[in-house]
Chain A
Amino acid sequence: MADLDDLIRRADPYANRRDAPLSARARADLRRILRGQSTDGASSPRQRRPMITLATVAAALCTLVVALIASGVLSPQQGVAYAATPELLEPRPVDIPAHDLLLELAALASTRPEAAPVNIVEYSSWSAQLDVGPDGPTQFIQPQDVRTEWRDDLSGSIVVVAGEAYPARGAHGFHDSAPEPPGTVLSEESFLPGQYPLLFRSEPPTTAAEMRSYLLQASDVTGDEVSAADLYRAIQGLLTQRLPTPAQESSILEVLAEQPDITVAGDVTDRDGRPGIAFRASSTNGQVELEYLLVVSPDGQILSLETIYQGGDSAFALPVPAVLEYTIWRRNES
């Protein structure tokens, strides 16, 4: 039996079309687009794929449809119910430019005792469950405590356990039996040598110029197109797999200091009760408006990062504003 990842990939019903030459429809659409003409596919008769090709599959499909109707997946559209989200952080405004403050924090980070790189990272992660089930949204927030570890041969592990649940924003409590008991193992994966999904393969640099390129290597954003959100996303990906040394963390903060679209949100207490300074960035993909808060400790440690939904996509079952996800890093050093 092939490994699970390979099996899932091979189950793609359209895998054999990835490398197909452009169809006649595709070529015709391109011509129309470049001429500013309508691309309605009236000239191409719509072809419906055969519903079933195997007699046994027909029976399985009936079973699946019944199961999905019973589970609510195929039920008629229900009224929108907001997904559970935590309280928003409340930064207290600080009248210092982000550039100056980040450089100051970078300098403080560099004064911390140097340490060897660590490939064991522990953090708490939560993201909004936007698939609201037939019983409505949960009334609690239950983050997941994650421990990732990898070795030089790229073997490793990712363990996800249930964290301590707490009431959602606007909730007045919840049934004790509703969330998973804290410490319940939700998933535990081991990776053979060479299989750990490392986003950043090489050791992080310690200069700002090199760090900027390093952070962006995993994305397809280049040059002047780089936004603060792009950098925040890269930093989150890096810090969920590597614990930076003080020098590396200092260079990360120096990179952020030169990013013009970062502003200071203010002093804040993060979700683990630690004091910090929140730095704000925003992004939009033309539909969804998002805000990000990166919280840095007074001695230049990146403590947490969260994404706040600010509106724009009516399919999001969230009020505006609402926390969409957060990551809280926990380190043994303080």
Chain B
Amino acid sequence: MPLRAGFTRFYQDTYNRVLLYAQHRVGNLATAEDISADTYRIAWQKYTEGAEPTLTWVLVIARNVIGNEYRRQAREHARIEHFAALLDLEASDDEAELLSVRLAVAQLSPSERELVYLTYWEDLPASTVAEVLDCMPGTIWVRLSRIRTKLRAALAPAASPHPGDGGVHG
């Protein structure tokens, strides 16, 4: 059964990326798992209809699932829990530094946070980020440049000197 085998392979290769994508946006693991399940259910249907599965393609599906199913829910508790999840630290040698970064990220606008998640926390190249966000790669770089400037300012007492940092992969 090549169709099922192909989808299974795709699922195994991309599931954690999709789960992380969902969890960065909704915080709660169980909710993120539900979103992932819905995403792959849609992906399987499209795959059987001939769609070519790629990471970008399934992330766009996930983005639509999150938008459709969770946009209208009361977000107050979800947001607070989400921000709490951002602050919930695993064991780390530099907890205070990472906490500062997470707080700074949490205070960005929603679209800026989206860009940080996709670029840094989901580790996607600019071309994929552009495709997921329906915008152009050059726009991504300009936005990221401004976001990094904001984050440097927010982290100023502990940030590295300006010349010499940077270097996001392409």
Interface residues of A (CB under 8 A from B): 1-5, 7-20, 22-23, 25-26, 29-30, 32-34, 39-41, 44, 46-54, 57, 60-61, 64-65, 67-68, 71, 73-74, 76-77, 123, 125, 127, 129-131, 144, 146, 148, 158, 160, 186-192, 194-199, 201, 218-221, 225, 233-234, 236-237, 239-241, 283, 285-288, 290, 305, 307, 313, 315, 324-325, 327
Contact = CB atoms under 8 A, between A and B. Distances in A.
A1 B165 CA distance: 10
Contacts of B111: 129-131
Nearest to B1: A34
Contact of B20 (A18, A46, A125): A18
B167 to A, nearest CB: 3
B64 A158 contact: no
19 contacts: A1-B160, A4-B148, A4-B155, A5-B120, A5-B165, A9-B123, A11-B102, A11-B121, A29-B33, A34-B4, A54-B89, A73-B79, A125-B142, A188-B162, A192-B166, A197-B141, A197-B167, A199-B137, A218-B126
B141 A325 contact: no
Contacts, number: 286
A12 B12 CA distance: 22
Contacts of A5: 120, 148, 165-168
A53 B89 CA distance: 7
A144 B160 CA distance: 26
Contacts of B155: 4, 7
B141 A49 contact: no
Nearest to B146: A187
A131 B113 CA distance: 11
A51 B130 contact: no
Contacts of A17: 16, 19-20
B139 A197 contact: no
B160 A131 contact: no
Given A13-B90, A187-B149, A30 B128 contact: no
A25 B11 CA distance: 13
A20 to B, nearest CB: 6
A305 B87 contact: no
Contacts of B90: 13, 16
Contact of B44 (A33, A144, A325): A33
Which of B12, B56, B126, B166 counts the most A-chain CB atoms under 10 A from its CB?
A: B166
A234 B127 CA distance: 8
Contacts of B97: 1, 7
A196 B165 CA distance: 10
A220 to B, nearest CB: 5
A67 B162 CA distance: 27
A288 B159 contact: no
Given A4-B165, A51-B81, A144-B142, A26 B19 contact: yes
Interface in B33-56: 33-34, 36-38, 40-41, 44, 52, 54-56
Contact of A285 (B52, B60, B87): B60
Given A39-B41, A65-B80, A125-B139, A12 B120 contact: yes
Contact of B145 (A39, A160, A221): A160
